[in-house]
Amino acid sequence: MLAIIDYGGGNMGSLLAALTRRGIDFSIVTDPTALAQADAAILPGDGAFEATMTALRTRGLDQPIAAMLARNQPFLGICVGMQVLFESSTEHGGATGFGFFPGVVERFGSDAPRVPHMGWNALEIVSTHPVLDNIDSGEYVYFLHSYRVPVGEGTIAASIHGERFAAVVARGNVIATQFHPEKSQHTGGKILDGFLRIVSAYTPPIQSHG
């Protein structure tokens, strides 16, 4: 079961439409029990890092997310849904994330031509990964953000907005994009298709009952 995590703060309309066009079976999940039963999940995000983490913790969704990450279940974080997978953010005085990827989310510096970064930018493929199959450097995707993660461990695609930053990160079946694939037309669709192939190929581990 593919869960779309609804924590009350993500704009999910475009994502749900993109998945529906692909004929994908999914469930919108708002409670931790249902999320714990999912084989895969997507965490869409709009807004602030701290507000997102607070909403997830208040609803009890943080623990099943952490468990999914630890089990390397297919997981896609989008925009703020990517940022919260890192250790922390300096936004609004600082907040702690899941720490799945090393690094700190910080506001664009003085090299950025404008903040927020809003619009289409080209991808630079840094490392191979199944989610990037059929994606070439130079393809454009749609961004809307004021905070970013520097290129580092886990970065498989980068982009430039005055400075080079992580556009796609991945470790195993856990993938995240700083841009919005559901709003990135053909290239974004290929990213979603790559993730859905990973979901289809995933075999849940056999649970031991003693």
- Selecting among 50, 79, 91, 139, the annotated active-site residue is 79
* Alpha helices (H) in 159-205, listed in sequence order: 185-201
Q: State both tokens at 116.
A: 């927020």
Element (H, E) at 166: strand 164-171
**What does the buried/exposed string (b/e) look like for 152-181 if buried means 16 or more CB atoms within 10 Å of the residue's CB?**
eebbbbbbebeebbbbbbbbebbbbbbbbb
d(CA 157, CA 60): 32
79 is catalytic: yes
Nearest to 148 by CA among 200, 181, 112, 175: 112
Residue 31 in contact with residue 6, Cβ under 8 Å? no
- Selecting among 129, 145, 161, 180, the annotated active-site residue is 180
d(CA 125, CA 121): 13
DSSP codes joined into one string, 26-47: EEEE-SHHHHHT-SEEEE---S
- N- to C-terminal Cα distance for the chain? 25
182 is catalytic: yes
- Selecting among 50, 91, 139, 182, the annotated active-site residue is 182
Active site residues: 79, 180, 182
